[in-house]
Structure 1
C-alpha cells in the first residue's frame, strides 16, 4: 500500500509537495482505494506522476543501467535558476506485509546526496540504513550482515542508489521495499497505444487459467461488441540468438566462480536479469491479437478496433492483476478515449470492497469532471480522493486536496470545480479566442 508520496524540485514542482493517500475521516481502510488528480492542461498533473515514475526507475535501474560516470537523468525545475543547482528529493511511505516503511533520496545531476530507509515494526522506527554522500550507516537490525553491507557500500557508485545495488544480491532486509517498486507499483503512460499491447494481453492470459474468461467478460460488460479473442504467435530469431549468448555467459560466470563472491554474484544477477528480460521480450513479440465480433467468426486486427476499445483492453490486465495482488496502479489521463460511464465503472472496481479485497489502489489524472458528481445516484469519488494541481504565475505547480475546502451542504462539486471555486482550471476568454482567429 502507498500511504504518501513527496517530491521537491522535479519538473514543474519547485517546492515540496505531498500526495497523502490516507482517509481524511475514520475508515475501515488504512489507505484510500482511489485518488483522482485534476487540473488544467499543462498544470503539472503528469509531472506529479512522472516524479513517482522517476523514483521507480531509479530504484530498479540506477545500479545496473545508469552510466557508471554519467549524469543522473533528473529533471529539476527550470524557471528558477537556483533550482538547476539545488538537489531534487523523492520520498514514499508504504506498507508491505503489515510493516510500514519510509524510503527516500536526494540527488543532483552528479550524485546521490542522501538516501534512507526506515521500517516501523510495531509502530517503532528502526533504521535500516542512512546514507550521506558515500558514507552509509546501518541500523542494528542489519548488524549481522555487516561484512556484506561493507562490500556493497564499496560497490555502490556515487550516482547509484544503495537500495538498487543491495537488491542485486537479494539482501533480505531491504527486499520488501525493492520488491514493492518492482512488482506492486504499475505505472501506465499514454493509455491506448497499440505498441506491445498484444504482448501484455498474452502475458496476462498465460499467467493462469481463467484469465481469458475474465478478460472477455469485462470486454462484454463494456459493450464494445467483442465476443471472442485469439492470440497468434511467431518467434523473433534475433532475440533468440541474444538469449543464447547470455545463457552461455551465465554458465561461464558460474563455472569461473563456484564459491560465489559478492562481486561475481552481482555480475551473475545482472546476467540473470538480462536473461529474464530477453525471455519476456521473446514471449512478448510472439503475440498478435485477433478479435471476433458477432457470431460469424470474422477476425479483426487490433488496429481495426476503436481507440476506446484499445484503451479498455490495455487497462484490464493491469487492473485485474492489481485487484488480485493488492498493487498500486498509476494511470496518466485515464479517461483517454473512454466513455465517462466506463471510467466510472473502472473506478468502482477499486471502490467496491467485494471486488477489491486486497487493498489495491488506483491513482490517476483526468479531465473527466463527471467523476466529481454522481452516476446512477451514487458518488463516484469521495472528498478525500480528489486532488488538484495548479500552476502559479511563475510557472511552479502546487498540489492540494478538496478536503482543504470547507464542504457546503448539498454542494455540486463538479459545478463548483468548473466554476473555479477550487482553482486548477484554465483561465479562458472567448473574445481572445475570436480575436486570434480573426487576426490578420
Structure 2
C-alpha cells in the first residue's frame, strides 16, 4: 500500500475514519463533518496535501507545528499530546530519566521497592556539593564550566537538570545566573558505612533504578513501552518487576508493554493468554505478531515449556553445526 498514515475513532466496537492518507500517490480522505467551518475544511485540505510532499513527516506533527487554535482541530491536538506526554518508550540503551526525580524527597515507598527487588540498597541521599568539588569530577575544567555557566539571554533555562557523568548522577538546579545548587545521588547498603554512586551499582540494579518510574509514576493514562525489559536483570527479577507493576497499577489507568526473551514470563498465573504475544520472522525476514489466545490452551498449561519446544512458533531455527564448516 505504500507509506501511509491514518486516524480512526472507536465507537461501540465500530471504527469511524477521521482521516487516511497515502503519501506516494497523494491520496487522502477525511471526514468533513469533523469541521464546523468551511475555513477549517479548506485548511485541512491544504495541510494534508502539504504533508504528503514530505514523506518523513506526520500530519499530526504538521498540524501541531502550525499551532491551530480552532476548536475543529482539538481532536488532533489531543492525539498529538497523548503521543508526546503519555506514551513513554524506554529503549535498552535508555539511561535514567524521570526515575531520577523520585529521589528528590524522603521516599519510603521507593526504598521499600528497592529492598523488595533485592538490590541491596537500604537508603539513599542527595549529597550537596560546591562548584569546586563538582569540577574535580571532570578531566577539563572548561567542560564543567559549560554546565555551570551563566546562561545567555537566548537560552531556554530549565529549572532542574540531570547530568550522568562517569559513575555519578548529578542534579543541577538552575536560576537566572546559572547553577544555584549541585547534588549527587548516593546509595547506602545495610550497615556498610561507605556510600555508593549510581555507576558503582551493578548493571542489574542500575536497570531497576532506570525503570522505577514505570512502577511509581502517579500520572494517569500513561503507556510505558519497555524494549528488552530483561536487559541485565536476573530472570526472577524480571518476573518480580512485572508482578510489582501489576500490583501497583490495579487502581491506575496505566499500561506497560514489554519485549523480552524471558520465557518464564509466559505464566498464566501472571499474564492472561491475550496479554502474551509472539513475534515470528518468516523466510523473507518479515515479522508477524500473534497472540497466545489463538491456541485456546488450558489455564493450567505450562506455557514456557511448550514454547521452548516450538509448539507456538517464534523460536530460532538453527542449522546443523556441520553447516558452519561448509558441509551439507
Q: What TM-score results when the alignment is normalised by the length of structure 2?
A: 0.71
User: Which of residues 70, 81, 87 in structure 1 aligns to 2:2?
Assistant: 87
**Once the two structures are superposed, what CA deviation does each residue of 1:326-365 show, in whole Å capped at 9, x if it has no partner?**
311111111122222322222123434x643223111111
How many correspondences in the alignment?
284
Select the structure of larger CA radius of gyration.
2
CA contact (8 A) 1:319 1:329 kept: no
- Structure 1 unpaired stretches of 5+: 1-85, 89-105, 107-114, 248-274
Residue 253 of structure 2 corresponds to residue 359 of structure 1: yes
How far apart, CA to CA, are the structure 2 residues paired with 1:386 and 1:305? 32
User: Which of residues 135, 144, 154 in structure 2 aligns to 1:246?
Assistant: 154
CA contact (8 A) 2:102 2:110 kept: no
1:200-211 aligned within 5 A: 200-206=98-104
Deviation at 1:320, TM superposition (A): 1.8
CA contact (8 A) 2:185 2:197 kept: yes
Q: Which has the higher contact order (CA 8 A, sep 6+)?
A: 1
Deviation at 1:137, TM superposition (A): 4.8
3-state SS of 1:290 partner: strand
CA contact (8 A) 2:47 2:63 kept: no
Coordinate RMSD, CA, aligned: 3.7
**Once the two structures are superposed, what CA deviation does each residue of 1:295-337 show, in whole Å capped at 9, x if it has no partner?**
344111222111110111111123321x642311111111122
- Residue 162 of structure 1 corresponds to 59
> More helix per residue: 1 or 2?
1
Cα distance change, pair 134–205 in 1 and its aligned pair in 2 (3 A):
farther
- Residue 189 of structure 1 corresponds to 91
Residue 287 of structure 2 corresponds to residue 397 of structure 1: yes
Q: What TM-score results when the alignment is normalised by the length of structure 1?
A: 0.55
How far apart, CA to CA, are the structure 2 residues paired with 1:122 and 1:413? 33
Cα distance change, pair 240–131 in 1 and its aligned pair in 2 (3 A):
farther
CA contact (8 A) 1:350 1:360 kept: no
- Structure 2 unpaired stretches of 5+: 129-133, 136-143, 164-169, 172-183
How far apart, CA to CA, are the structure 1 residues paired with 2:9 and 2:290? 27
3-state SS of 2:35 partner: helix
How far apart, CA to CA, are the structure 2 residues paired with 1:289 and 1:147? 51
Cα distance change, pair 205–246 in 1 and its aligned pair in 2 (3 A):
farther
How far apart, CA to CA, are the structure 2 residues paired with 1:148 and 1:239? 48
